[in-house]
Amino acid sequence: MKVHIIHLYPKEMNIYGDTGNRLVLSQRLKWRGYEPIVHLVGLGDKLPAETDIILGGGGQDSGQALVIDDLAKRQAELNAMADDGVTMLMICGMYQLFGHYFLTQDGDKLPGISVFNLVTRGSNQRLIGNIVSETPFGQLVGYENHSGLTELAKGLAALGKCPKGQGNNGADQNEGATVQNVFGSYLHGPILSKNPHFADELITRTIERKSGQKVQLTPLSDELELAAANVAKSRPR
């Protein structure tokens, strides 16, 4: 089975190794006998006719400013895909732009596409360091670096709770957001390399949606991935 992975704005929105998420998903799909087809979608490029997974990464405020006009043109299409159950993983800067807006420290309001009912405001401190988040899909380990403080509207589920680390805003212990099969998170690292169970959650949802059947993925040895997560967890912030 072919699985179409779309990486949105790989040039403008791709810091702290977020491209790794695409590599991890591709490799874990291949190991299970699926055929990943990767599409890099930049400014002005059309989304391919078949879209199974959409990935977006983090970026500087300046990178976010570069993509907002293009993203606005995709608002209806991306919201329709989210409603239709397409799997999406948006990290940091793209997570913020999947909300209503990001108000930068400089006072620029960067509009988002409102897939998530949340807003983000830049602060004058950066939230930096290793972070551990407890989610319904297990523990996630990553690295955060952002100035934006994200507030979820009532009714929007956080992806996880972070006793260690700042997460969405450093105050309510929420980390990330999730609706349908769309996930937003501040975790770089890249997030999927140290959290193979979460990568498999995304793959399972994607294959189940495509096939209309329950899927049991072949287990893999995740020894190295989990060893990396343990090292990151033990490092001081």
Query: Which position among 145, 180, 197, 204 is part of the footprint of ligand GLN (CB under 6 A)?
Result: 145
- In sequence order, which residues have a C-beta less than 8 Å from that of residue 158 and are 6 or more positions away? 152, 167, 168, 174, 175, 176, 177, 178
> Is 148 or 190 the residue whose CB approaches ligand GLN more closely?
148
Give the nearest distance from C-beta 160 to ligand GLN in angstroms.
18
- Is residue 58 part of the contact set for ligand GLN (CB under 6 A)? yes
Q: How many residues interact with ligand GLN (rule CB under 6 A)?
A: 12
Among 20, 36, 56, 59, binds ligand GLN (CB under 6 A): 59
Of these, 7, 100, 146, 205, which contacts ligand GLN (CB under 6 A)?
146
CB 45 within 8 A of CB 10: no
Among 87, 116, 85, 121, which residue's Cα sits nearest to residue 102? 121
Q: Does 93 bind ligand GLN (CB under 6 A)?
A: yes
- Residue type at position 4: H
DSSP H or E run through 163: strand 160-164
Is 52 among the residues that bind ligand GLN (CB under 6 A)? no
Nearer to ligand GLN, 60 or 211 (CB): 60
As beta bridge partners, residue 143 has: 130, 188
Stretch that binds ligand GLN, among 19-27, 29-37, 140-148, 199-207 (CB under 6 A): 140-148
Among 10, 36, 53, 61, which residue sits at the site for ligand GLN (rule: CB under 6 A)? 61
The residue from 4, 92, 146, 162 that is catalytic is: 92
Q: Could you tell me the two tokens for 180?
A: 């349908």
CB of 18 to ligand GLN, least distance (A): 8
Based on the residue annotation, tell me whether 188 is a catalytic residue of this protein: yes
Q: What is the DSSP string of 18-87?
A: THHHHHHHHHHHHHTT-EEEEEEE-TTPPPPS--SEEEE----HHHHHHHHHHHHHTHHHHHHHHHTT-E
Our answer to whether residue 162 is catalytic in this structure is: no
Q: Is residue 148 at the binding interface for ligand GLN, with CB under 6 A as the rule?
A: yes
DSSP assignments along 123-147, one per residue: EEEEEEEEEEEEETTEEEEEEEEEE
Please report how close the Cβ of residue 149 comes to ligand GLN at its closest, in angstroms: 8
Give the separation between CA 177 and CA 233, rounded to whole angstroms. 22
Considering only residues 5 through 24, tell me which ones interact with ligand GLN, judged by CB under 6 A: 15
Q: Which residues contact 197 (CB under 8 A, 6 or more apart)?
A: 137, 138, 222
Amino acid at the residue 112: G
Contact between 125 and ligand GLN per CB under 6 A: no
Q: Which residues bind ligand GLN (CB under 6 A)?
A: 15, 58-61, 64, 92-93, 145-148
Active site residues: 92, 188
